[in-house]
Amino acid sequence: MRAVKDNREYTLTTDIEKRLYQKRGFDIFDDEGKLIAYGAGRTVPLEEHLKLKEENEKLKEENEKLKKEIAKLRKGAEK
């Protein structure tokens, strides 16, 4: 395993090391380079959060409209 933060990278051998580095904000990767866990203390700026929240609401509304449209089309195809 590897712990990575900014320009620092450490090789980890135990789960205890993994937990310690994760608490210090390091992202943990397996030997193949796949992300296992994010480091603690990550934050998202409020502006970005609100933007994503608004986008999420729009997509939910669009999803509901499309589900209704699909249901109408299926009813029409059954006749």
Per-residue pLDDT tens digits of the chain, which is 79 residues long: 999 999 999 999 999 999 999 999 999 999 999 999 999 988 889 999 999 999 999 999 999 999 999 999 999 887 6
Same domain for 33 and 47, yes or no, is no
* Helix (H) / strand (E) containing 37: strand 35-37
Same domain for 32 and 48, yes or no, is no
Quote the number of domains for the chain.
2
Same domain for 31 and 56, yes or no, is no
Same domain for 62 and 47, yes or no, is yes
Query: In whole angstroms, what is the distance from residue 21 CA to residue 6 CA?
Result: 13
Tokens of 24: 């210090």
Which parts of the chain fold into alpha helices (H)?
15-23, 46-78
Domain that holds residue 63: 43-79
Q: For residue 12, report the phi and psi dihedrals to the nearest 5 degrees.
A: -110, 145
Same domain for 30 and 50, yes or no, is no
